Amino acid sequence: MTTEMMGSLRTEFAERFERLYRAAGSPPARIVCARANEELARSGLRWSVSPQRVSDWRRCRTTPARFEVFAPVLNILVLAARGRIGTTDEQLLDVQAWEALWQEIQRDEPRAGSVRTSTTVQVCPYRGLGVMTEADHGAYGGRTQERDELSRRVAEMAGTGRLIVLTGATGSGKSSFIRAGFGGTIAGRPMVGGIADPRRTMTGSPSRPAVVVVDQFERLLVDPRAAEASAAWLAECARRPGVAAVVVLRSDRIGCAGSIARLQDGLAHNRIDLAQPSVSDVMEAITAPARHAGLAIGDGLEQLIRADLGLRPGLGLQAAAAPLPVLSWALQHAWLNRERNTLTVSGYERSGGITGAIVHLAEQCWAGMSESDRGLCRDLLLRLVVPRSDGVVVGGGVPVSDLVATAGDPGAVRAVLSRLVDSRVLIADADGVRASHDALFSEWGRMRDWLAACHVGVEVPRAGPVAPVRLSAAMVS
């Protein structure tokens, strides 16, 4: 490799690191280093990182000599960037891509001590609020039945011109499912993520169909003409021999999508719904990434997470009470508090667990709102409260139309709801919106204050059926 090429790689590393630092909100280097050094100490490594060294990496004065030293800094910044609304550069957040770039630099710039010697897992296998990709296929767990069903539909529909529609509530893991769960099983066959490019030629065969995917199709629905054009192009692709087309859609947008002529057949006859995951799916979402990365799950941790998610015998082991991204976010932070290569109960509890994740996400969303939006946020969240006759406060689903009907500014209400859903504070599905987890009502300090102002108490749940009484708009105001 020439000197110019090496210089280009170092420049790329520095520029990418600077972009990541800004995407993380430009946190003070001393705070980043303090947290990174805590992580290094927990991992049993004797090295440390200083603010000056971080500054040198950002300004292309040097590159990390050891990935073990760089990895904790990288993980802290990636977690911060993923938690900020608007960070969309997945490559910037891909720790494996960072390590690949670092290794490429090391191969042609060998330095004493630059070889990795630690067996401690340096890359967090949990994606948090981010999306798993085809590269994460080995770490994807669960949804086996849905993967088999989609594979069967792809084989049947290839070359017919008929579209397959994959739907699910927000937080059900649709994007990760289509990319890592399903996409990883069709390695070598063309796939298009995001908005389909009509200039791309898709070819496949009946035995190995090519698959065209448009994820987050709901984004196109703001412009019906664009949605019609994209659906028409997908149908045209699906008429080619050996080509199938899949539309991924939020279930709360099914009504709007029904007006798109090319989607009507798929919605009526060729739809796969990602329901709330089963207990086994949830446990696989915990254990599969750990197995793939070589992490151990400490004694008692799985049972604790099951309890936090509400997966209790006698209360119906049907589904998780929190969306998968929230679970993954909690596990990311438990990984930061791990003991060498083991996720532990103490590390999970130090990170706050599911409850801490919900509180953090709610507070972060609230912090980014204007005063007027905060007032709407308070009123909307209180409308989701169901105070039961035994004093327990739980969350209930409410149709969006009901929330909008009593609003003075429907557009503002929809905008605040959108922020709460995007932040994973609320879940949106075909029936309306609901809280991601009842910890929103029992543990978030602001919510407890609002409930107290409405003279609604928060009690620990007790066994036995009770009658819920929803707060009305008048009671909230």
- Position 288 scores a pLDDT of 94
- Position 301 scores a pLDDT of 93
Please tell me whether residue 119 adopts helix, strand or coil conformation. Answer: coil
Cα separation, 253 vs 217, in Å, equals 9
Please state the length of the chain: 477
Q: What is the DSSP string of 35-67?
A: HHHHHHHHTT------HHHHHHHHTTS---S-H
Contact 437, 354 (CB under 8 A): yes
Domain ranges of the chain: 3-123, 143-274, 279-351, 359-476
Cα separation, 161 vs 38, in Å, equals 56
**How confident is the prediction along the chain (477 residues), in pLDDT tens digits per residue?**
444 444 578 888 999 999 999 988 899 999 999 988 887 776 666 778 999 889 889 988 888 887 778 888 988 888 888 777 555 567 788 777 787 788 777 765 544 333 343 455 667 889 888 888 887 888 999 999 999 999 999 999 999 999 999 999 998 999 999 988 988 666 445 454 543 344 444 555 666 788 989 999 999 998 989 899 999 999 998 999 989 999 999 999 999 999 999 999 999 999 999 988 888 888 999 999 999 988 999 999 998 998 888 765 444 334 445 688 899 989 988 988 888 889 999 999 988 899 888 988 898 888 888 889 999 999 999 988 876 655 556 667 788 888 888 778 889 999 999 999 988 999 999 889 999 888 888 888 888 888 888 765 544 333 333 333 444 444 444
- Cα–Cα nearest to 237, from 273, 262, 265: 262
- Position 205 scores a pLDDT of 63
- DSSP lists the bridge partners of residue 426 as 435
Contacts of 268 (CB under 8 A, 6+ apart): none
Q: What is the DSSP string of 407-418?
A: -S-HHHHHHHHH
Give Cα 310 to chain centroid, integer Å: 20
Q: Is 55 exposed, middle or buried (0-12, 13-18, 19+ CB in 10 A)?
A: exposed
Buried b / exposed e along 262-290 (16+ C-beta atoms within 10 A): bbeebbeebbbebbbbbbebbbbbbbbbb
Q: Is 332 exposed, middle or buried (0-12, 13-18, 19+ CB in 10 A)?
A: buried
Max alpha carbon distance in the chain (Å)?
A: 75
Contacts of 65 (CB under 8 A, 6+ apart): 111, 113, 114
Torsion over CA: 154, 157, 160, 161 (sign): negative
Cα separation, 110 vs 108, in Å, equals 6
Please tell me the class of the 143-274 domain. alpha beta
